[in-house]
Amino acid sequence: MNDRIQRRRSKMPIRTVIQFCLFVSFLISGSEALAQKVLLKGENRAYIAPEISPDGLYVAITSKEYTGLWTMRIDGYNLRQFSSVRGAGKIKRWSPDSKWILYRENNNGRQELKIGETYTRNISSITISVKKFEDVRWIDSDKLYLRSNGKVTYIRSGLNVQNSKKNHTVVYTDSEKIYLESPDKKIPDLVDPVLGVRYLDTVLSPDGSKIAFQIVGGNLQVYELNNFQLHDLGEGSAPRWSPNGKKIVYQLTTYDGQRVISSDIYLINFNGTAKLQLTDTQYVHEMRPTFYPKGNRIIYDTDLLGEIRIMRVPVK
């Protein structure tokens, strides 16, 4: 009798230990998936707005008020400065082969288009006949898309850029309408999925079939161009597409009128399902997230803290 009681008692701790180990394993695997890793510390300045190169080997960053432009390896080493000018980091575009980066500088009231070489830090300039431009993109081979005051021109960079991208459509908004520009069309396509609102942060999916955008004073939305479906994603801003076009990463930020008082990052399916909060920190403001080329990680900044961080995310 005593032996049976003893054997029964000896089995209980083993079962409990197994259950505990499984629970801990679950927690560890979950925490690894959402663990934040510091890639670059903001010791002397607050770094923001990281952009990964298409080959996934480099990242371009700027600092507060988009002052200056730097690139570094994705492991956080080999930090190189290309510009110290205020506003230079507002528009920064990697070439499709990751060898060059486009940016703009204000020189005596006139904006100049600059091209920096990733590996050597050599910088060249392109003379343009406009005083101000809103956007510039790599299109095909050495062709660049330039938009100034709502007008689009295509200029040559003089570089032999390898480009295997098939979709060269550019999306933008004047707040009242959404425009789709393409090199093979003389007139842009107009889209107005929600009548009577103002648009912000328009982003085209990698395959060109969907547009993510924010309604001014309202929620994030996704509009499917092929079937005219509209999906409400809820509150948020700064949407960025996953490489496969199935998910969106974005920030949910609150202000006290002027400054940020909280900001966290979320992941969601493009149709508004499977919403997942990736960060939940009281004093760290995670902002401006974007995907790695493989889609299994995101990179973002921490606003005033000035750190660039990375995180693994669910890819399915």
Question: In which domain, by residue range, is 189 found?
Answer: 168-316
Rounded mean pLDDT, 13-33: 40
22 pLDDT above the threshold of 70: no
Q: Is residue 18 part of a domain?
A: no
pLDDT for position 200: 96
pLDDT for position 156: 87
Give the pLDDT band of residue 301 (cuts 50, 70, 90): very high
Rounded mean pLDDT, 44-71: 95
Domains held by the chain: number: 1
Q: Is the separation of the CB atoms in 239 and 214 below 8 Å?
A: yes
pTM: 0.86
**DSSP helix/strand/coil, 181:** strand
Spell out the long-range contacts of 41-48 with Cβ–Cβ below 8 A and sequence spacing 24 or more.
41/306, 41/307, 42/302, 42/305, 42/306, 42/307, 42/308, 43/306, 45/306, 46/303, 46/304, 46/305, 46/306, 47/301, 47/306, 47/307, 47/308, 48/89, 48/287, 48/288, 48/301, 48/303, 48/306
Q: Is the separation of the CB atoms in 205 and 270 below 8 Å?
A: yes
pLDDT for position 191: 95
Q: Is residue 111 part of a domain?
A: no
Rounded mean pLDDT, 277-306: 94
Q: Which pLDDT tens digit goes with each residue over 166-221?
A: 678 999 999 999 999 988 888 899 999 999 999 999 999 999 999 999 999 999 99
Q: Which residue has the tokens 């002052």?
A: 67
Q: Which pLDDT tens digit goes with each residue over 119-166?
A: 888 898 887 777 788 999 988 777 899 998 888 888 888 888 877 776
Q: Is residue 36 part of a domain?
A: no
Domain CATH code at residue 230: 2.120.10.30
12 pLDDT above the threshold of 70: no
Higher-confidence residue of 153 and 69: namely 69
Q: Is residue 275 part of a domain?
A: yes
Q: Which pLDDT tens digit goes with each residue over 229-288?
A: 999 999 999 999 999 999 999 999 999 988 899 999 999 999 999 999 999 988 899 999
Q: Which residues pair with 86 in a beta bridge?
A: 67
Q: Report the C-alpha gap between 13 and 6 in whole angstroms.
A: 12
Q: Is residue 86 part of a domain?
A: no
Q: Is residue 220 part of a domain?
A: yes
